[in-house]
Amino acid sequence: EAFDRLELSHSDIAAFVRYERMKIAAQRLDRLAAPAEVDAMSFADDAIVHDGCDFLIEATRYDLRGLLRGERAAPLREDESRWMVMLQRADGSVDALQVGPFGHSVLTGASQPRKLGELLSERHRFGHVSDTDARIVIRQLASRGLLAIEAS
């Protein structure tokens, strides 16, 4: 209500408050992240990818990196999309990251086990995402414990 009165409900400050609330909520997640070094480049397309932990994901209209450095942030362009992702690590710390449309698709698509090749084929829906870039995104998500990849 205070944000509405001050006309801040769609501001970068409100986005930062949502970010902080997500961090607190992430401390109550059940399945904790177990980061692993994986090389998505070496897995065959029939490898099985599934979620590696519980996480929270929420759309944002701001690039939060500036806000986290104490700077104000301008809204993203209309054609840009970003999501905040929060997870809790086994040591109790909360990990936060932002993903774009392909990362969002991978995370939501891996809620059920899927073949790596299926996830990679979706990259074409997001413009010019190469196979290598898509595998890098998947590797980064797996290295944080968000995804698990198993050879079939």
Tens digit of each residue's pLDDT (9 = 90 or more) over 54-96: 999 999 998 888 888 888 888 888 888 899 999 999 889 999 9
- The yes-or-no verdict on residue 113 having pLDDT over 90 is yes
Q: Which of the 8 DSSP states describes residue 132?
A: H
**Do 89 and 32 form a contact (C-beta atoms < 8 A)?**
yes
- The yes-or-no verdict on residue 132 having pLDDT over 70 is yes
How many C-beta atoms surround the C-beta of residue 57 within 10 A? 16
Average pLDDT over residues 19-26: 94
**CA 60 from centroid of its chain's CA atoms:** 11
Q: Which residue has the higher pLDDT, 80 or 26?
A: 26
How many whole angstroms separate alpha carbon 89 and alpha carbon 143?
12
**Do 38 and 143 form a contact (C-beta atoms < 8 A)?**
yes
